[in-house]
Amino acid sequence: MKKAVALLLAAAMLLPCAGMKVQAAEGLSKEYSFNVGSSSTAGTTITKTFEAVQAEAPEVSGGKLKMTYFGASSLGTDKEMLTECIAGNLPIVVMTTASMTGSVPQLALFDMHCAASSMETYTKLMEDPEFLAEVQSWFEASNLKLIAWESQSSKHLASTVPVNTIEDFKGYDMRTLSNKYHIAFWQEVGANTIQIDASELYLSVQQGLIQGIEMNMASILSRKLPEVCPYVIETMDLSHMTMAVMSLDVYNSMTPEDQAWFDNYMVTVNEKFNAQAIEDNEAGWKTLEEAGVTAMRFNPELFAAMKEKAEVSSWAQAREALGDEVVDFYLDHIAAIEAE
């Protein structure tokens, strides 16, 4: 997989030598210092990856590239950081696609629930040259450049009760984000949707205000939800797609030779990003087991029932917001992958 990722990331960046890994110049011609902003906290996949990048960038570049990572929203909220990146004031930001839809609306495709039945599908999707080139065009229209991504994580349901069938969601008190796609989907499924700040989730579960919370593995563990949620359910209703993007102005300020070197280095970063995610996800399931949590792994029948609800809720909203052409482009690529 690593080889395919490297080749196809290079192709998606519209670099020369399609079909082979980029042969960049031996070194950088100038010195560069790039700040990297994120809201991710210590111990998360993003933070682990880009702290490693911060440590190694000077060495691999012969001292000419410095990448300084600022996590835990120390440079502002996701919205603020993305705005600064677009303006060219913050070279690189790393965040989920859901945090970027205000500036890159097409990324709401990743808020279409149950579009793919496995993370392998999302991984192959992000390795597809045609799909990646289209995604790159969406970013460039907003003065951004996609430089790396993590496609190995999905959202899970931390729950106080088991969920085996879609009927179990009737009357279920579900914490959702303040996102119209998420709210519409969970209401269609039958749940009562409630918006609660992340800092209040543990207490809200403990006091019986909510029964379920949808989060990625790292967030479930960092919020200590296994202490109050005896079940974690692998629904595969959404991916937790994370992307690193660069200011297009900053990127274009580099010489062509230095761009080629940087692109080549980001292929390596992309591999590290996804390898770290795989390691963290596997460790997360083991941690849940050790904590005595019941891990309810992917249930195809539940997924199929949820997908029917998604088609008339978040999918319908995406069609209204983005148009049939964009949505069908996304779904057709997924369908082709899953038919292989």
Give the pLDDT confidence of 56-106 residue by residue, as tens digits: 999 999 999 999 999 999 999 999 999 999 999 999 999 999 999 999 999
CA torsion sign, 76 to 80 to 185 to 117? negative
> Rounded to whole angstroms, how far apart are CA atoms 294 and 230?
6
> Rounded to whole angstroms, how far apart are CA atoms 143 and 250?
10
The answer, yes or no, to whether residue 181 has pLDDT greater than 80, is yes
User: Tokens in use for 238?
Assistant: 């959404």
21 compared with 201, residue with greater pLDDT: 201
Residue 18 has a pLDDT of: 30
> Rounded to whole angstroms, how far apart are CA atoms 198 and 190?
22
> Rounded to whole angstroms, how far apart are CA atoms 71 and 22?
30
The answer, yes or no, to whether residue 19 has pLDDT greater than 70, is no
pLDDT tier at 27, thresholds 50, 70, 90? confident
Lowest average pLDDT, out of 200-204, 210-214, 220-224, 327-331, goes to 220-224
Q: What's the mean pLDDT in 319-333?
A: 98
Q: What's the mean pLDDT in 36-61?
A: 95
pLDDT tier at 26, thresholds 50, 70, 90? low
The answer, yes or no, to whether residue 15 has pLDDT greater than 50, is no
- Structural domains in the chain plus CATH codes: 2-153+241-281 (3.40.190.170), 155-238+285-338 (3.40.190.170)
Three-state DSSP state, 331: helix
100 compared with 199, residue with greater pLDDT: 100
CB atoms within 10 A of CB 169: 23
Mean pLDDT of the chain: 92
CB 238 within 8 A of CB 110: yes
Averaging pLDDT over each range in 10-19, 21-30, 162-171, which range is the top one? 162-171
Give which of 116, 129, 126, 168 is closest to 148, Cα–Cα. 126
The answer, yes or no, to whether residue 11 has pLDDT greater than 80, is no
The answer, yes or no, to whether residue 13 has pLDDT greater than 90, is no
The answer, yes or no, to whether residue 280 has pLDDT greater than 60, is yes
Q: What's the mean pLDDT in 223-227?
A: 95
- Cα→Cα distances 39→11, 43, 66, 68, 77, Å: 29, 12, 20, 14, 7
**pLDDT tens profile 226-263:** 999 999 999 999 999 999 999 999 999 999 999 999 99
> Rounded to whole angstroms, how far apart are CA atoms 170 and 96?
29
Q: What is the DSSP letter of 87?
A: T
Q: What's the mean pLDDT in 12-36?
A: 62
> Rounded to whole angstroms, how far apart are CA atoms 176 and 236?
16
